[in-house]
Amino acid sequence: MDMPEYYRQRATYYERVYHKPERQSDLRAMEACLPGPFAGRRVLEVACGTGWWTRHGARDCTHWLATDLNPNTMDVACNKAMPAGRVEFATVDAYTFDGLGQRSFDGAFSGCWWSHIPLERLASWLELLHARLEPGARVVMLDNSYVEASSTPLSRRDAQGNTYQNRTLDDGKVHEVLKNFPTCDEAFAALGARARNPEWIAYEHYWVLNYQLA
């Protein structure tokens, strides 16, 4: 499985997933609520992809650093209209955050990234993210819920409990993609005591996790 290559090939038409008719109500609700938690904050966005969420989340922030490792998806994001003077893009590996230097943030966001983190790496990744954040930082993550009629069927589960989907690109090539679907209890357990007043909002096709870093 080569996730960077899969998303490189899918970059130009990735956003088709956001045009599914049954998901429009959820999307509009999340887009409307996303700017509020980040008003006046300096935000690190992890794996910004094509920037769908960036343009919404950054509306009222002080500064928004949108990061991704994939130049193809980043190109799409950089060509979008963004809130003026607020958004910066940088090529950064989400698993190391190399390239950020000594920068710290009082907000963090990731959209549809949690589901691609192997379960065995989730705890260490959360530690890495939180080390970049100041006490009291606001963190928002959102991702897909599994809905039988709308989601790509699961193809298998591995020994660690990770689940996978077989996804077919426009050229007919099939890629196996890791895609986990956590429950509220699983997400809260992964965060532990470092998440102050965690909130889980369950939409039909998505979930949103919002908390303050202790």
pLDDT per residue as tens digits for the range 37-64: 999 999 999 999 999 999 999 999 999 9
Place 8 in a pLDDT band, splitting at 50, 70 and 90.
low
CA dihedral sign of residues 213, 88, 208, 152: negative
pLDDT in tens, 82-141: 999 999 999 999 999 998 988 999 999 999 999 999 999 999 999 999 999 999 999 999
pLDDT in tens, 11-36: 667 788 899 999 999 999 999 999 99
Helices (H), the chain: 3-10, 24-33, 54-57, 71-78, 119-131, 184-191
For the chain, give the percent of residues with pLDDT over 90.
84
CATH topology assigned to domain 3-146+182-213 = Rossmann fold (3.40.50)
Q: What is the pLDDT of residue 15?
A: 84
Average pLDDT, the chain: 94
The vertex-33 CA angle with 28 and 35, nearest 5°, equals: 115
9 pLDDT more than 70: no
Structural contact between residues 115 and 179, judged by C-beta atoms closer than 8 angstroms: yes
Q: What is the pLDDT of residue 71?
A: 87
pTM over 0.75? The answer is yes
Task: Lowest mean pLDDT of 70-74, 88-92, 168-172, name the range.
Answer: 168-172
Amino acid at 97: F
Q: Residue ranges of the domains in the chain?
A: 3-146+182-213
